[in-house]
Amino acid sequence: MDILNRLRFFYLAYLSYPASDRFLYRLAFRHPPSSILEIGLGGAVRAQRLLEIIRQRVPGDPVFYTGIDLFETTPPQFGKRIPLKEVYRTLRQTGAQIRLYPGDPWTVLSQRANYLGPVDLLLVSSQVDSKSMAKAWFYIPRMLRPDSQVFVEHRSGQKCFFRKINPASLQAWADSRKMSKAA
């Protein structure tokens, strides 16, 4: 890495806003994932920065990024609505292979879960509809590897943080959902 890239990484990993994303940037630098699934992109700034770090860290390796978001139909309380085409153009500049799916998590994953995996890094935004995400968790375990990392963003007032979820506990939760549906 040249000096400008090092300075850029230092800024992203230790000084950038929002502070909750800094942990993800350091993680992507230490263990660059080859495939990412992000549910709830917001302005796609975090996605662009993650892909930038990964591409600098492993420039020759292919990186696959999949994003699920409401895009133009995002409710106003979640901020600015960004068109899918604009997000695609922005993320495509990183050199990663980009797939974007409009819709809520449950609808998209119920149709595409078998085609999206396996993923190394799964990120779930706090701005995702909780009812839709509760149904979507059923499809998540089939997209994960044993060493996949899953992080869910939580908001507490003005503060945000990411909580790591163990893939094995996700599988147990999905299995319990199957049993409750059968009963």
Looking at residue 181, its pLDDT comes to 52
* pLDDT per position as a tens digit, 7-60: 999 999 999 989 999 999 999 999 999 999 999 987 899 999 999 999 999 888
pTM, rounded to two decimals? 0.90
Alpha carbon distance 134, 103 (integer Å)? 15
- Domains (range + CATH), the chain: 3-182 (3.40.50.150)
Category of 95 on φ-ψ map: left (φ > 0), alpha (ψ -120 to 50) or beta: left
* pLDDT per position as a tens digit, 73-103: 877 666 677 889 999 999 999 999 999 999 9
